[in-house]
Structure 1
Amino acid sequence: MPASPMLRPKYWGFHLLALVLVAIAGGLGMWQLKAWQQHRTDEARDLTKIAPEELDAVIGPDDPFPGRKVGQPVVVEGTWVQDATLFISGREHDGRDGYWVVTPVAVGEPDGPALLAVRGWVADPADAPGTPEGSTAFVALLQPPQGTGQVDDDPADDVLPQVRLADYLQHVDQDLYGAYAVITDDIPDGDWPHGETAVNDGTDGLAPASIDQLPEVGRTTAIRNLLYAIEWWVFGLFAGFIWWRWTRDEVERLSEPGTAPLG
């Protein structure tokens, strides 16, 4: 059986060019795909185990919540605000329904802007320990304010259905940060500071609360990289198709009587 005329050395350059174009397109497509995956991984990263930052380095009193800092550990230093502890209903712990215990912490001056701190969980507000007094310092996980649309059936009591700043402002005279923080005792050894910057007397007598939110990946995150990957693969397929079509046409041309090879 005679060898295909397309295997002659004079055609090797055409084959090599097609191979290089397909390989380049495939490689660039994979590079863009990995960039798309990395961007999405970065956006969904769990910040809860990284080193804490000072609160004001992450969010200021008048700043909107930084979307990429959900779950960020922050060091909070300030003074407990008295007569401002409220309870957030509908919170579970070990399968039991109960309440979060939330007390504002005035950051800086005692009458300065306050950050809502979730001190822990309790089954019944009547069993919750009193509000700590004086200064405090702790590490907590930053969370965006909640806004599920739940209505507070009794604005006069000390129970709220969610950590919503507009509801809490009716119970405190100070400005509030556009965030709240959950104090946690889930601190692996060596992962972040212990001692006074990790836990404090504000959590005494309470079960630990768990955070509600970690970063979610948006549908359009790094979508351009994904589209570029598809574009490069389409280009590679097109190059491969052109090579196949040219090879077929050249074989047909060479099969005609009296036709000499190209070149």
Structure 2
Amino acid sequence: MLRPRHWGGHLLLVVALVATTWLGFWQLSAWQHGREAEARDLSEAAPLALTDAMGPDDPFPGQYVGQPVELRGTWVPASTLYVADRLRDGERGYWVMTPVIVDGGDGSAVPVVRGWSPTADADTVAGDVELTGWLQPSEGTGLPDTDASDDVIPEMRVASVTQRVEADLYSGFVVARDASSGTDGLAGVTPGSIPEVSAVTSLRNLLYAVQWWVFGGFAVYVWWRWCRDTVEALEREQDPEDERVGSPA
């Protein structure tokens, strides 16, 4: 197996092991950074411009969970939705969510939680707005929407909002803290009343790391089988020659 004609197979194994090991550690690092980001409390940090924190086509930046952001834009009142089963002072009610077309966001919109209401009903809002709020990742616990025909959704899932908005959406949402319009008549939603980020938010990266290392182990197994089969094939080729050499003339 050390003959030059077999070097290509050995080299392929080395490349596969280096690639899968590096990719595994890269995903492991992403998982660790994600867990560290979730543990930080940024609710009192200085606000950043939303367009500086993330772009309209970017995945949600885990390091900015809870980060105050500032934005300007225009309300999209026709896409107002109500997020069910939200507690405030022990009372269940609804988050009132209306998207905002973000200035400087290439026409994309960000869902904005305007406040809390005891009923799935709120005053219509329209026009331009300037606001500061806390940036949050899309929720996704898998709760089903039992009635897709109404304006009530079970959780603040960006995918659910996408079906009601013609514009592209950011991959997160903003909980309004201060706004020039849209919050009148609604109770404020504070960081303490925002559900904690799911414990499995960054689990996907950890699973990807394990997956890459499994691929590396499979590459070793394939290489071992190839070596074994090659050696056995060579032995079968040599057996007839050995019999001829040992047979009487």
- TM bucket (normalised to shorter chain) is 0.5 to 0.7
Return the alpha-carbon distance in structure 1 between the equivalents of residues 181 and 85 of structure 2: 24
For 1:111 and 1:82, how far apart are their aligned partners in 2?
19
Who is 1:121 aligned against?
A: 116
1:201 aligns with 2:194: no
The letter for the 1-side match of 2:112 is: A
Alignment of 1:55-66 (within 5 A): 55-66=50-61
Q: Root-mean-square deviation (CA), in Å?
A: 2.8
Asked if the contact 1:84–1:172 (Cα under 8 Å) also holds between the matched residues in 2, the reply is yes
Aligned to 1:14: none
Residue in 2 that maps onto 1:72: 67
CA-CA distance at 1:211 after TM superposition:
2.4
Equivalent-residue separation in structure 2 for 1:214 and 1:110 (angstroms): 25
Counterpart CA distance in 1 for 2:128 and 2:37 is 36
Give the fraction of aligned pairs with identical amino acids, expressed as a percent.
46
CA contact 2:38–2:62 (8 Å) conserved in 1: no
Q: Which amino acid aligns with 1:52?
A: P
Determine which of 76, 81, 93 is the counterpart of 1:81. Answer: 76
- Are 1:140 and 2:133 counterparts? yes
Aligned residues: 168
The residue aligned with 1:212 is: 195
Alignment of 1:167 with 2:147, yes or no, is: no
Summarize the Cα distance change of 1:43–1:81 in structure 2 as closer, same or farther, 3 Å threshold: closer
Code of the residue aligned with 2:52 in structure 1: it is A
Amino acid at match of 1:211: I
Q: CA deviation at 1:125?
A: 1.6
Q: Distance in 2 between matches of 1:199 and 1:208?
A: 11
Which 5+ residue runs of structure 1 have no aligned equivalent?
1-39, 185-197, 220-263
Hey, which of these two has a bigger chunk of helix by percent? Answer: 2
Larger radius of gyration: 1
Post-superposition shift, 1:42?
A: 7.4
- Which of the pair has the greater relative contact order for Cα pairs under 8 Å at 6+ separation? 1
Tell me: CA distance 1:41–1:174, structure 2 relative to 1, closer, same or farther (3 Å).
closer
Contact 1:87–1:158 (Cα < 8 Å) also in 2: yes
Aligned partners of 2:108 and 2:169 also within 8 Å: yes
1:103 to 93, 98, 102: 98
TM-score, structure 1 normalization: 0.58
